[in-house]
Amino acid sequence: MTDRIGIIGDPDSILAFKAIGVETFGVSTGVEAKAYIKEMTQKKFKVIFITERIAMEIEEFLQKYKSMTYPAIIPIPSGEATGFGMNGIRRDMEKAIGADILFRKD
Amino acid sequence: MARLNVNPTRMEMKRLKARLTTAIRGHKLLKDKSDEMIRQFSVLIRKNKDLRETVEKGLSDTLSAFTLARALTSSQVLEEALSMPSKSVEITCGSKNIMSVAVPDIQIVESASGDIFPYSFSTITGEADSSITELQKVLKKLIELAEIEKACNMLAVEIEKNKRRVNALEYVMIPQLNETIKYIRMKLEENDRAATTRIMKVKDMIAARELLEKN
């Protein structure tokens, strides 16, 4: 049984993913992205990549997927990294450990 | 700490003592669980960070190369060329167990056909070819990242939940039980003393009366 991977983002940045066989869903606003995520969850997409710019808009909406095993919704940079993904790691770390063990500057 | 609202009876005290033992054992177990989860988490989060750094770098390189390729070809031609991918990425998703948290376990299924380019080379520039090959490589890392990042997300949530349980036991439940047990014990001892003095008093009274009757 194989599962599907999808990517959500602005159509220009995700065009390249189409070539390697990832299903692409072009959106320009957070509202559209939410609708796609809901639909994709039902259609058994297990991994959903989302470009950082869109992910930022719907951060709160993405929170509730955090504690589920699937779908794994992962923010990825489109072009230059904005640091949104790294911030996610930092937040996880603070939540779990309560201290910064990775990004601390000595 | 407020004590529980219970009747100060021996029965109640016995019940509470049993609860206290359970609470202390549960607290110890949960604390051990929390320690182990944090240990696993700190290993995973380090991996997560490294992987994300690699992926973000790889992705921005690849995508900028692709942007260049796009600039060299007209957008219609390119979109047409890419609209029918020759193969699709397939994954199998299971779940594995880290400290009773079901985290995803994702495997990429390699599809058979070797050629990844869904277009003829004559229409598209070479930049596109190389960026697509690169992207193919990044995708593997990307899926690995998805797996690990999700595990970190879930562990973080679980660790936080567990921490709350440990704290609730340590700072609310256990002190409360201790206090209530102490209260019941005091009350029972007090009753005991009251009964003893009462009996002594009565004995004195009887003795006094008997003395009076003799005389």
What is the count of structural domains for chain B?
A: 1
What is the rounded CA–CA span in Å between residue B20 and residue B16?
A: 6
Residues of B in contact with A19 (CB under 8 A): 82, 85, 116-118, 128, 132, 135
A19 touches chain B (CB under 8 A): yes
Please tell me the predicted confidence (pLDDT) of residue B188: 95
Instruction: Tell whether B209 is covered by a domain.
Output: yes
Q: Which residues 31-90 of chain B have a CB within 8 Å of chain A?
A: 37-38, 41-42, 45-46, 48-49, 52, 55-57, 59-60, 62-64, 66-67, 70, 78-79, 82-83, 85-90
Per-residue confidence (pLDDT) for residue B110, from 0 to 100: 67
- Say what the pLDDT of residue A105 is: 55
For residue B2, being part of any structural domain is answered with no
Number of domains chain A is built from: 1
Q: Write the pLDDT tens digit of every residue in B45-59.
A: 889 989 988 888 888
With beta carbons under 8 A apart, name residues in chain B contacting A21.
85-89, 111, 116
**Is B4 part of a structural domain of the chain?**
no
Domain of residue B73, CATH code: 1.10.287.3240
Identify whether A102 is part of a domain.
Answer: no
Ranges in chain B, pLDDT < 70? 1, 83-88, 110-125
Measured distance CA(B96)–CA(B47) in Å, rounded: 17
pLDDT of residue B206: 96
Report which secondary-structure segment, H or E, holds B103. strand B101-109
pTM for the structure as a whole: 0.81
Task: Look at residue B157 and tell me if it is in a domain.
Answer: yes
Give yes or no for a cis peptide into A71 (omega within 30° of 0): yes
A41 CB neighbour count, 10 Å cutoff: 16
Domain range holding A86?
Answer: 4-96
Within-domain flag for A18:
yes
* pLDDT of amino acid B191: 95
Residue A32 belongs to some domain of the structure = yes
Q: How far is A73 from chain B (nearest CA, A)?
A: 8
What average pLDDT does the segment A67-87 reach?
A: 81
What ipTM does the predicted assembly reach?
A: 0.86
Q: What is the pLDDT of residue B112?
A: 53
Q: Could you tell me the CATH number of the domain that includes residue A60?
A: 3.40.50.10580
Interface residue A81 vs chain B (CB under 8 A): yes
CB-based contact A66 B153, cutoff 8 Å: yes
Is A104 inside a domain boundary? no
